[in-house]
Structure formats: structure tokens, C-alpha cells
Amino acid sequence: MIEIYLDENLSEYVADALNSLNKGYFRDIAVFSTKLKFGKGAKDEQIIPAIGKAKGILLTKDLNINRTRAQYDLCLQYKLGVFFLKPTKGLDRHWEIVKMLLNNWELIIEKIKDERFPFGYEIPMRGKMRKL
């Protein structure tokens, strides 16, 4: 079972919806909300090792994880796969992010299954996913 964790800046309802949609197509994928799994406001320094130990994947809008040396090092240490959602300014409302996730979901699953850990990808609102 592959575990995907949506950072708390993404709604826990999105995790529930993705789980429902996956049932017919990606039965080996489980989607969790970090807010529900680790508690609201849990620090990245707590979340990253826990997801890494579960051999999970993190989906987040927090590009600072890739830029903050200590958090980046934790991602490497725990061999974490991370997808950074990069919505266009002004289009970073909840519904736009949901559409962005759905439009890229099959590619996200493909990358998870094919990529060697650790890895990172940036998903822009428009354009192609790019490896970091």
C-alpha cells in the first residue's frame, strides 16, 4: 500500500475525496491528511520523519521545505518523495488546487511507482511537472 499525505494547507476533505476516487482505479493508494494524522500545526520536522518511515509521499504547497536546509536534509535522510504544488498567484484558492491535483493525479501516481527515493517534483498550475 502506497501512502500519500496531504499537508495541512490542503483540506482533509480532499484526502477523503481522493481515497473515494482511488477505489476504482488505484486500489493500492491511501491518502491521508497530515492535519488528521499528526494534529493541526504539527511541525515539518515531526511530519517528514514519520512519513519517511512509512515510505510515504508528501504533497504540499510549502516550497520552503525544499529551500530550508534542515528540512531538505530530513527529506534526504528519510528518503521522502515530495510533490510541491505551485499554484499561480491569485489562483491559489482551494478549488483551483483541487483541480490541479486531479489534473495531475495519474502522473503523480506514475512518478511514485517509477521514481527512486528520495525525489521531489514541482507541479505548476500550468505547464509540465518538473523534477527538482
1, 31 in Cβ contact below 8 A? no
Q: Is the pLDDT of residue 13 over 70?
A: yes
Q: Is the pLDDT of residue 88 over 80?
A: no
pLDDT interval class at 85 (50, 70, 90)? very high
Q: Residues near 81 by Cβ (< 8 Å), separated by ≥ 6?
A: 56, 57, 58, 111, 112, 115, 117, 118, 119, 120
Q: Is the pLDDT of residue 51 over 70?
A: yes
How many domains does one find in the chain?
A: 1
Q: Is the pLDDT of residue 91 over 80?
A: no
Q: Is the pLDDT of residue 92 over 70?
A: no
Q: What residues make up the domain containing 92?
A: 2-131
Percentage of residues in the chain having pLDDT higher than 70: 98
Helix (H) or strand (E) holding 91: none
29, 55 in Cβ contact below 8 A? no
**CATH number for 59:** 3.40.50
The gap between the terminal CA atoms of the chain, to the nearest Å, is: 25
